[in-house]
Chain A
Amino acid sequence: MSKNNAKAYWKENIRYVLILMFIWFIVSFGAGILFKDALNEFKVGGFKVGFWFAQQGSMYVFVLLIFVYVRLMNKLDKKYGYDE
C-alpha cells in the first residue's frame, strides 16, 4: 500500500475518533456531571434527567459509540483496501 493511502486512512480514522470522543464527553462529563443540575429540572417518568444520564444513559451511549465505530472502521478498511 502506498504511503499516501495510509495517511488518508489515518486522517479519516482520527476524524471519526474525535467526533465519537466528543459525544463520549458530552453524555458523561457533560450531561452526567457538569450540566446535571440544570438537566435535573426535567423529569422523564420518575427519573431526573441529569441523574438518569449519570447512572443509565451515558452507559447506553458508550455501547452504541463502540458499535458505530466498529461499523465505520469496517467500511473504512474496505475503502482503503485494508480489509481482511
Chain B
Amino acid sequence: MVMMNSLVIEGIGVQNWTYIIVGLTFTLYIGIAIWSRAGSTKEFYVAGGGVSPLANGMATAADWMSAASFISMAGIISFSGYDGAVYLMGWTGGYVLLALLLAPYLRKFGKFTVPDFIGDRYYSNTARLVGVICALIVSFTYVAGQMRGVGLVFSRFLEVDINTGVIIGMIIVLFYAVLGGMKGVTYTQVAQYCVLIFAFMVPAIFISIQMTGNPIPQLGFGDQLADGSGTYLLDKLDGLSTDLGFSEYTEGSKSLIDVFAITLALMVGTAGLPHVIVRFFTVKRVKDARKSAGIALLLITILYTTAPAVAVFARTNMIETVSNQPYADMPEWFKKWETTGLITFTDKNGDGLIQYVANETENELVVDNDIIVLANPEIAQLPDWVIALVAAGALAAALSTAAGLLLVISASVSHDLIKKIINPKISEKNELIAARLAAVAAVGVAGYFGINPPGFVAATVALAFGLAAASFFPAIILGIFYKKMNKEGAISGMVIGILSMLFYMTKFKFGWFGGGTQADWWFGISPEGFGTVAMALNFIVSIVIMRFTPEPPKAVQDLVENIRIPSNAGEATH
C-alpha cells in the first residue's frame, strides 16, 4: 500500500486525472486520424491493403474488444461464475474458425466487403442484397450498444449528462472514421489497443497482488489467499456463494445443452461478423491473413484470461464489503454508484444491514454487471490515476469497435448498394463521397440509439452473434468448401437462417408471436444459443435446395478453386 500511495500526486483527484488521461488519448486518436487520412476508395475500405500482420492483429483486437468485453464481461462472469465461460470460449474460439476456415480464402478472393464475396461467389445481386441487409442488421444492433457504453463512461467519470457523453463520442468517431476511413481507423485502433489493454491489466495486477500476493492475475485467482490462512481463493468464494444461497461459483446454473449452444453460437457468430472479417482484407498476402488472426487472438486472450480473474477478485471483495454490513458504513464508491442507479439498496427488513442473498424476496441489494470493472479499482482502493485509466480504456474499447462497425455500414451502402447494385458507373471520387456521407449518416443513427436506447439494445447486442451465425457463416463456409453450392441454395439458406433467428429472438425476448417463457424454449435452448440451431437450419436448407437446382457456372467453380490456392493474392479490387 505504501508503494501505491506514493504514486498518487496529492490533490489532483479522480476527475482531473480522468480529464487529463482521456484528453491525452483523444488528442492521440485525432492526431493519428489527420496523419493517416484516406485519399482513395481503396484506402477508405481496406487501408490500401498494405497493413502489416502485427498492426492488423492489434487493430483486429481493438476492433473486436468492445464496451461489452471491456466493461460488461468480467461483471457478467462475476455474477454467473462458471457459466461466464460461454463468453470466454465463445468469443475466442471463433478466431480459430476465422484463421482456419475463413480469413485466408476471403483475403485471396480479394474484394472489399463480405456482401462482395456473397454477391460474386453466388453470381447474383439478390444474394448481394441479402448480404447487405444481414450486414446492416448485425452492425446496427451492435453499434448502438457501443454508443451507450461511451455515454455511461462519460456520465460516471466526467459527471456530464449521458447524452452529452454520447455526443462527444459521436464527434470523435465521426472525425476519424469519416476522415481516415479504414486507414485512419486501423492506426487509431492500434493505439486504442495499447490504451485498453494497459488500462485493463494495471488494476488487475494490483488487485491480484493485494489478494493473493501473485502478480499474474491468471495464476492469482487459483492461488492461496495472501492472509496466510492457506485457503484457496476459489474455495473461499465457493463457500461465500453457497452461504448466501447462490450456486457454487465454479459450478454455475445453466443447463449443459444451453451452455453448449450459446458457446457454439458465439464462436460461429464471431467468425461471421462483417466488421471482424473485413479486417483480414487489409493485409498484403494470404499468409499475413493467417498470421494476423493468430496475433489478434493472442492479444485478445491477454484480456480474456484476465477477465475471469478480475471477476473472482471483485466478487469476493464485494461480498466481503457489503454482506451483512451496516448500510451507513458503506464506502464512498457505493454511494457514488447508487446515484447512477447501477446499485440499488432497499432495506426490506429495516435492520439497517445489507442482506445480499440469492433468495429474491429477502435480497436487498441489486448490483449492475457493468459496475464490476468500472468500480473495481475504487473497491480495491487503488490510486486515482488507475481509476481514470480505466475510464480511458473503456472509451478506447467502445470507440474502436464503433468505428469498425461504422465502416462496415458505410461500405455496405456506398460500395455494395450504390456501386454494385444501383449505379455501377459511379466514379471513384463520388463513391468516396458516398462512403463518407454514409458514415456520417450511420454515426447519426448510432448516436440516436445511444441517446434513446430502445429497451432491447442490451439484449440484441448478444443476439447480433446469433444473427451473424445464422446468416453469413454457412454461406461463406459453403462458398469456400463446397464448390457445387449454388445461388438458390445459399440465398434460401441465409433467408431462412436469419428469419428463424429473428423469429425466436422476438418471440422470447419481446413477446411477439405469442411470446413464451423459459419453459417454452425449444430443446431448452435460450435465444442467445438459438444461433446454433438457426445456423444448422441454414446449412440444411442450403444443401437440400442445391440438390434440386442447377449447379453454379463453370467460371464460379473455377473461382472457388482459385481462392483455395494462396499465391498471387494480388491487391483488393473493385
Complex interface: chain A residues within 8 A of B569 (CB):
84
A67 to B292, CA, bound (A): 10
Does residue B260 face the partner (Cβ distance < 8 Å to A)? yes
Please tell me if the beta carbons of A63 and B298 are within 8 angstroms of each other in the complex. yes
Please tell me if the beta carbons of A55 and B567 are within 8 angstroms of each other in the complex. no
Report the nearest B residue to A18, measured CB to CB: B100
- The number of chain A residues touching the other chain, given as a range, is 35 or more
Does residue A42 face the partner (Cβ distance < 8 Å to B)? no
Given the interface pairs A59-B301, A74-B287, the reply to whether A40 lies near B250 with Cβ below 8 Å is yes
Does residue B353 face the partner (Cβ distance < 8 Å to A)? no
A10 to B482, CA, bound (A): 13
Please tell me if the beta carbons of B223 and A59 are within 8 angstroms of each other in the complex. no
Given the interface pairs A33-B263, A46-B234, A84-B567, the reply to whether A28 lies near B256 with Cβ below 8 Å is no
**B222: contacting residue among A13, A47, A83, CB under 8 A:** A47
Please tell me if the beta carbons of A51 and B566 are within 8 angstroms of each other in the complex. no
Given the interface pairs A20-B96, A29-B263, the reply to whether A66 lies near B294 with Cβ below 8 Å is yes
Please tell me if the beta carbons of A1 and B234 are within 8 angstroms of each other in the complex. no
Complex interface: chain B residues within 8 A of A46 (CB):
221-224, 232-235
Report the nearest B residue to A76, measured CB to CB: B566
Given the interface pairs A54-B89, A65-B96, A66-B96, the reply to whether A29 lies near B222 with Cβ below 8 Å is no
Please tell me if the beta carbons of A29 and B297 are within 8 angstroms of each other in the complex. no
A25 to B218, CA, bound (A): 23
**B297: contacting residue among A32, A62, A73, CB under 8 A:** A62
Please tell me if the beta carbons of B85 and A32 are within 8 angstroms of each other in the complex. yes
Q: Which of A38-52 contact B (CB under 8 A)?
A: 40, 44-48, 51-52
Does residue B334 face the partner (Cβ distance < 8 Å to A)? no
Given the interface pairs A51-B250, A62-B95, A65-B96, the reply to whether A83 lies near B297 with Cβ below 8 Å is no
Please tell me if the beta carbons of B100 and A69 are within 8 angstroms of each other in the complex. yes
Complex interface: chain B residues within 8 A of A1 (CB):
565
Name the prevailing secondary structure of the A interface residues: helix
A18-39 vs B, CB cutoff 8 Å, 1 = contact: the mask equals: 0011001000110011101000
Please tell me if the beta carbons of A73 and B290 are within 8 angstroms of each other in the complex. yes
Q: Which of B180-218 contact A (CB under 8 A)?
A: 218
Complex interface: chain A residues within 8 A of B293 (CB):
66
Name the prevailing secondary structure of the B interface residues: helix
Please tell me if the beta carbons of A54 and B88 are within 8 angstroms of each other in the complex. yes
Please tell me if the beta carbons of A59 and B305 are within 8 angstroms of each other in the complex. yes
Number of interface residues of B (CB under 8 A): 50
Please tell me if the beta carbons of B290 and A69 are within 8 angstroms of each other in the complex. yes
Q: Shortest Cβ distance from A51 into chain B, in angstroms? A: 4
Report the nearest A residue to B238, measured CB to CB: A48
A46 to B89, CA, bound (A): 21
| Interface-centre pick from B250, B263, B293, B567 (highest chain A CB count, 10 A) | B250
Please tell me if the beta carbons of A20 and B259 are within 8 angstroms of each other in the complex. no
Please tell me if the beta carbons of B222 and A45 are within 8 angstroms of each other in the complex. yes
B216-245 vs A, CB cutoff 8 Å, 1 = contact: the mask equals: 001101111000000011110000000000
Complex interface: chain B residues within 8 A of A29 (CB):
260, 263-264
**B256: contacting residue among A34, A82, A84, CB under 8 A:** A34
Q: Shortest Cβ distance from A42 into chain B, in angstroms? A: 13
Complex interface: chain A residues within 8 A of B84 (CB):
55
**A17: contacting residue among B100, B297, B304, CB under 8 A:** B100
B284-301 vs A, CB cutoff 8 Å, 1 = contact: the mask equals: 010100110110011001
Complex interface: chain A residues within 8 A of B235 (CB):
46
Please tell me if the beta carbons of B301 and A77 are within 8 angstroms of each other in the complex. no
Extra 17 A-B pairs, beta carbons < 8 Å, given A51-B82, A51-B234: A1-B565, A29-B260, A32-B89, A46-B222, A46-B223, A46-B224, A47-B234, A54-B85, A55-B84, A58-B92, A59-B304, A63-B294, A70-B99, A70-B287, A73-B566, A77-B287, A82-B566
Chain A residues with CB under 8 Å of chain B are 1, 6, 9-10, 13, 17, 20-21, 24, 28-29, 32-34, 36, 40, 44-48, 51-52, 54-56, 58-60, 62-63, 65-67, 69-70, 73-74, 77, 81-84
25 A-B contact pairs sorted by A residue (CB < 8 Å): A9-B565, A10-B564, A20-B96, A21-B100, A24-B93, A24-B96, A45-B219, A45-B223, A46-B221, A46-B234, A56-B218, A58-B88, A58-B93, A59-B92, A59-B301, A62-B96, A62-B301, A63-B294, A63-B301, A65-B100, A66-B100, A66-B290, A66-B293, A70-B287, A83-B567
